[in-house]
Each structure stands twice: as structure tokens, then as C-alpha cells.
Amino acid sequence: MTTQSPGTPLPPPKERRRLREHASLTQAQLAARLGVSRETVRAWEAGRTTPQGRRGEAYAKLLATLADPPTPTPEPARGPRPNARTTRPRPEDRTPTNSAAARSPGVGSSADSSAVDSPAAAQTPAQAFDALYAHCAPSLIRQAYLLTGRRELARESVEQAFQIAWHRWPEVAVDPDPAGWVRATAHEYALSPWHQFRPRFRNPEPPPAVPADRALMDVLLSLPPSYRRTLLLYDGIGLGLPETAAETEASTPATASRLLHAREAVVARLPDLAAPGLLRRRLAEVASAERLRAARPAVVRMGGERRARLWTRAAITFTVALIGVTVLALYTAPTRYQPPVPPGRTVPGVPPRAAPGPLSDTELALRAKLRALPHGPQRLTPELR
């Protein structure tokens, strides 16, 4: 019996994708080495599933062989360094999303930076969730507003994402990048095509008051949703190209193509944004100009719990009703075979019934004679003749 060795842990999902692309391997080639399907490798790199057992051990060993060993730098002396107060983390130990977002400020980069680590073990789950929500919710609402152009939908997307995170908190709490987990969920909910069928979102909301902000929002909303999200993640938040491709679940060449087409569309209508870094600053200004307030963490957490209780009760009620209908059908069902009533057949020798019609003279005389007979008991008394 073989178990996964604790000495070969799996790197984060985005690091798995980076190692594979650094080794110039496709998902199909990696899947062929491990003996799994391409969809399984894609789910591992997206973070939707985690390999366990022998597959997890083989996957961890393969990724360890793909990782480049760090090049040692010779030190002139072994004496203590005067400024070595703390040990800086190695680049491979940092989450790609956090390191990319911490390079320069952008749309909500302060909420998605490396300051948001995994919740501390000393905190309760509710306290850790509230801290994550208070730190990330304001910037996520601004990002969702840039994706949709709707203030109410932006708030609803972020609240829905955090409610899902609270329901799956054991998974989110140990995630290397909980802010990125919630961000991906909020973006997917905000860009869902089903919102156009909701009555409250059929009419457009008022655009920004500033003409320059209104022009930029019109250009963003004219882009396809995938292009809009790629542009926001790369130019708005500051993620790298592999990290953006991993979060949007697309290949790196496809992500680069989306980014180039999105930039061309923006520059074609707004030539002033062709300078590097100017688009990122303008996105941050447009998002910050709107008054987008987030609800309190306790309200979001309790609202998610209340909704979960309602859905649970509805599921229990439906199940009980289904069981009742099934029991009633079994109780009233016949226990033996009952043949159907055969159709009527013509009996030989019996004349067919005549259709109703006018009476003949003989029938009229007989009816008159019968009506002339006395009524009552004397009618039944026989008479002698």
C-alpha cells in the first residue's frame, strides 16, 4: 500500500500551470505522462480539484522535476549581514497572483496584494472571514462595476461570491490566495449571461457623470466579456499573463490575443490611452469615482446562512412531498390485474334499436287508447268480459 509522501507537497494551482508552461509541455503531454485525461489536468491547474493518492504523488514528483533548481550565489564571507533582520521569501514561495498584484497599484490591487494571506489559526472562522471581506470587498465591487457597468449587480456579485466562500470556508481558508479565489468567483457571477433575463437588470443604469469616464465605460462595455475580463486582470489589477490565463481558464496564447484585441479596440476609440500605464490609471479613476459601498461582513455571512437554510427547507419539503405522492400511488395502485371492459358486440336475433322519429297512425291510436284507461289501483284490477 502506497501513500502520498508528506515530503512532496503540491504547489498552488497557478504555480502548477507555470511549471508546465516553463517546461514547454502542453496539458495533453502532461496528461499522457500521468496516465490521465487532459480535462483532469486542466481541473488540477484551475484549482477545481486536487489529486490524491498515487496520482497526487506522481503529479507532485513530476512538478518537482520540472521546477528549475535555484542558482546558488557565492557569498564573499559568512559573517552576519548588518541588514539581515528577517528572511525574505523566495520568489517561488509567493503566490503568483499576490506577487503580480503587489508590483504596482491598480484597480483594487491593495485588496488583492500579498497582505491578504491565509487566515491565521488563532482566529475563528467568522473572524477570518470578516477580515477577508473587509479587506477585499471594496476593491472587488469596483472591479465588478468595470465588468458590468451596473452598481447593484456589482454589489450582488461580490456578496454572492463571499457567501459561496463562507459555505466552502474549509477550502478557502487553506487556499494560498483566498482573495484570488473570491475574485474569480465574483467575476464569473458578474459576467453570467443569465442576468439579462432578470427584470431588474433589463434597463441600463445611469452612466458616469464625467464625459471622459462615460466614454471609457462605453468602450469597456462594447468589448466581449472575455476580452473585458482579460483587460481588467492584466492592465487593471496587474496580473501577469500566465496568471491571467489561469484565472480565465484559457491558454496563454489565447489570453495574449484577447489582450491585444482589447487594447486595440480601446485605443481606436480613445487614442489618449495608448501610453503604457495610462489605461491602468484611468480604470482606477473611473472605479474610484463611483460610490460603491459594501455591506457589513456579518450581514453577508448571516444572509448566506439564511439563504442556505431556506434552500435546505425547500429541498426537504420537496423530498417529503415526493415521498408522500409515491406512497399514495403505491397504496391506491391495484394489487391484481383487472382486464379492461371489452367493446360492445351485436347479439344475433335481436333487432337493432330504431332511431327516434314520428309515430305512425297505429302507434298514435295505441297511445290514445292507453291514455284513456283509468288511473290508480283500479287500473290494475282485472275485468271480466
Q: Do 154 and 101 share a structural domain? A: yes
Q: Which residues contact 27 (CB under 8 A, 6 or more apart)?
A: 20, 38, 41, 42, 45
* CA pair distance 215, 207, nearest whole angstrom: 9
Q: Do 111 and 56 share a structural domain? A: no
Closest CA to 94 of 1, 11, 217: 11
270, 216 Cβ separation under 8 angstroms: yes
249, 217 Cβ separation under 8 angstroms: no
- Average pLDDT (304-312) is 88
Q: Do 179 and 43 share a structural domain? A: no
Q: Do 281 and 195 share a structural domain? A: yes
Residue 193 resides in a domain? yes
Q: Do 120 and 53 share a structural domain? A: no
* CA pair distance 17, 33, nearest whole angstrom: 15
Q: Do 33 and 173 share a structural domain? A: no
Burial class (CB in 10 A: 0-12, 13-18, 19+), 88: exposed
245, 254 Cβ separation under 8 angstroms: yes
Q: Which of 264, 297, 330 is the last residue of a domain?
A: 297
* Residue 7, helix vs strand vs coil: coil
Q: Which of 297, 320, 354 is the last residue of a domain?
A: 297
Q: Which of 278, 297, 316 is the last residue of a domain?
A: 297
Give the number of other Cβ atoms within 10 Å of residue 273's Cβ. Answer: 19
Burial 349-364 (b: 16+ CB within 10 A, else e): eeeeeeeeeeeeeeee
pLDDT > 70? residue 255? yes
Question: Lowest-pLDDT range, 68-82, 173-187, 207-221, 276-290?
Answer: 68-82
Question: Lowest-pLDDT range, 160-169, 202-211, 344-353?
Answer: 344-353
Residue 194 resides in a domain? yes
pLDDT > 50? residue 154? yes
Output 372 or 118, whichever has higher pLDDT.
372
Q: Do 281 and 226 share a structural domain? A: yes
Residue 223 resides in a domain? yes
Phi and psi (nearest 5°) for 189? Answer: -70, -40
* Of the ranges 27-41, 72-86, 221-235, the best mean pLDDT one: 221-235
Burial 54-82 (b: 16+ CB within 10 A, else e): eebbbbbebbeebeeeeeeeeeeeeeeee
Residue 373 resides in a domain? no
85-124 per-position pLDDT tens digit: 333 344 344 444 343 343 333 566 544 444 454 444 578 9
- Average pLDDT (245-253) is 91
Query: What beta strand segments (E) does the chain contain?
Result: none
Overall domain count for the chain: 2
Residue 265 resides in a domain? yes
Question: Lowest-pLDDT range, 6-15, 91-100, 181-190, 343-352?
Answer: 91-100
In eight-state DSSP terms, residue 108 is: T
pLDDT > 80? residue 73? no
Global confidence as pTM: 0.57
21, 252 Cβ separation under 8 angstroms: yes
Phi and psi (nearest 5°) for 220? Answer: -65, -45
* CA pair distance 367, 361, nearest whole angstrom: 10
Q: Do 260 and 155 share a structural domain? A: yes
231-247 per-position pLDDT tens digit: 999 998 988 999 999 99
- The residue behind cell 549581514 is 81
Residue 219 resides in a domain? yes
Residue 34 resides in a domain? yes
* CA pair distance 256, 45, nearest whole angstrom: 19
Quick one: pLDDT at residue 96?
A: 40
Question: For residue 265, what are the domain limits?
Answer: 95-297
Residue 196 resides in a domain? yes
Q: Do 116 and 48 share a structural domain? A: no
Average pLDDT for the chain: 80
Closest CA to 96 of 189, 181, 15: 15
Q: Do 100 and 60 share a structural domain? A: no
